[in-house]
Structure 1
Amino acid sequence: MHRNANSNSGIAELILENTHPLQQLTDLLRELSCGQYSAGCNARGQHTIGKHVRHIVDHYSVFLSGVERIGSAIDYEQRSREALLEQEPQATADRLSKLCQRLERLGNSGEDHPLQLDYATHETTVATSSSLGRELAFLASHTIHHMAIIAMLAEQVGIATSEDFGVHPSTLRYRQKQEMLQTLGAEQMLQTSFEAQSHPARST
């Protein structure tokens, strides 16, 4: 029973590590015009915010379809690559909100469980074992990676993002820990200084 409780808690935390950045991304899209969203930001115009967001949406759509259909495998090669998601930020923001809702329902449904992942090579498709938790962990890292690129592209079209946008939760936790240690160190130095002033050494 204790093991199941831990499993449920772990899945819930992984769901949150996915829905939080997706909500940040949704909020960003609400600020963008279609022009900003689809603007090419390199010499050949290949990199746009829209293309990176569409790529993120595709991965979650494939993952959720594979999880929600019993007996179905997850194959990230089978992405829809819907052009609308590269061109219309408001419609894509609505799609992201629905994906978050589906993820939250998934988090309420229970514990970690096995999944099948299909991976296409040049000559065949390899079926490999995975799990709900492992795929959620992959998606969280995958999303943050693309959001870091999106933050740079947004800056090029005049949109600023928050300091934690596109930063992996583990990095944020590390920064918080370092800030706490620095604060603690400063407090200890002040305390030492105060004690030294309150009890000066006596000369003999």
Structure 2
Amino acid sequence: MTSSLSRSSPSTARLVEENLLTLAQLRSMVADLTPEGYRQAFGEHGRHTLGKHVRHIIDHYDALLDGLDRDAEVIDYEQRRRDEVLEQWPQQAASHLAGIEARLLSLGSGPSPDALSLGYPLDDDTLTLASSLNRELAFLTSHSIHHMAIIALLAEQSGIHLPETFGVHPSTLRHWQQASAEQASLSRWTA
């Protein structure tokens, strides 16, 4: 863990680390794509592309980090940039993801907000919900993994081979490791 993360709370540092691992995996995949593969349309109406899912993930991180940077009273994931460049050009998306990783690392260098408020639109009103940095970091990991699982399915249809662990939540990876260790232990007892 980096020195800046060591100054943050242990739980925040662990959540930042999960996000960093998730984003590094996504960035690695995106950096290897051609613009044509990144933009290839899927689905009955052609609305799904790898790039749109990547851009959507980026938008959510930017919404949180931009809100924290400007000390926003309310974090609002609905008011996203939706920068089409990031869904059209994989190298620019990979670069932006690297920037997000650097911004996440900086979360540990200063005081973290004790409480956050989250705007949640409901019909013609917006609810303001109590939240925290840790809760939002946990959300971003799960949200990103969800979209990465969709990306993995789309990539598979294009013949793009991804690691078995791509789009798998860290809790599932920990479960797999535990099950593998238990199986190895069991095998030693029966051998």
TM-score normalised by L of structure 2? 0.93
Q: Is residue 8–residue 112 contact of structure 1 (8 Å, CA) maintained in 2?
A: no
Aligned to 2:108: 107
Amino acid across the alignment from 2:132: S
Aligned to 1:116: 117
Cα distance in 2 between the residues matched to 1:123 and 1:112: 29
Cα distance in 2 between the residues matched to 1:17 and 1:75: 22
Cα distance in 2 between the residues matched to 1:9 and 1:108: 13
Q: Which moved more, 1:168-177 or 1:100-109?
A: 100-109
Aligned to 2:3: none
Q: Which moved more, 1:36-45 or 1:104-113?
A: 104-113
Amino acid across the alignment from 2:180: E
Show the 5 A alignment for 1:53-202.
53-110=54-111, 113-190=114-191
User: How many aligned positions are there?
Assistant: 186
- Any gaps of 5 or more consecutive residues in structure 1? 191-204
Cα distance in 2 between the residues matched to 1:187 and 1:156: 40
SS at match of 1:129: strand
Amino acid across the alignment from 2:24: Q
User: How much does 1:111 deviate?
Assistant: 5.1
Compare CA radii of gyration and give the structure with the larger one: 1
User: How much does 1:112 deviate?
Assistant: 6.2
Q: Confirm whether residue 47 of structure 1 aligns to residue 48 of structure 2.
A: yes
Runs of at least 4 residues off by over 6 Å: none
User: How much does 1:71 deviate?
Assistant: 4.2
- Any gaps of 5 or more consecutive residues in structure 2? 1-5
Q: After superposition, what is the alpha-carbon deviation per residue over 1:76-116, rounded to whole angstroms, capped at 9, x for unaligned?
A: 00001111111000001000000000001113334562101
Cα distance in 2 between the residues matched to 1:98 and 1:18: 13
Cα distance in 2 between the residues matched to 1:63 and 1:12: 16
SS at match of 1:78: coil
Aligned to 1:20: 21
Q: Confirm whether residue 33 of structure 1 aligns to residue 34 of structure 2.
A: yes
SS at match of 2:131: strand
Cα distance in 1 between the residues matched to 2:111 and 2:168: 28
Shift in alpha-carbon separation, 1:36–1:138, aligned structure 2, 3 A:
same
Cα distance in 2 between the residues matched to 1:144 and 1:126: 26
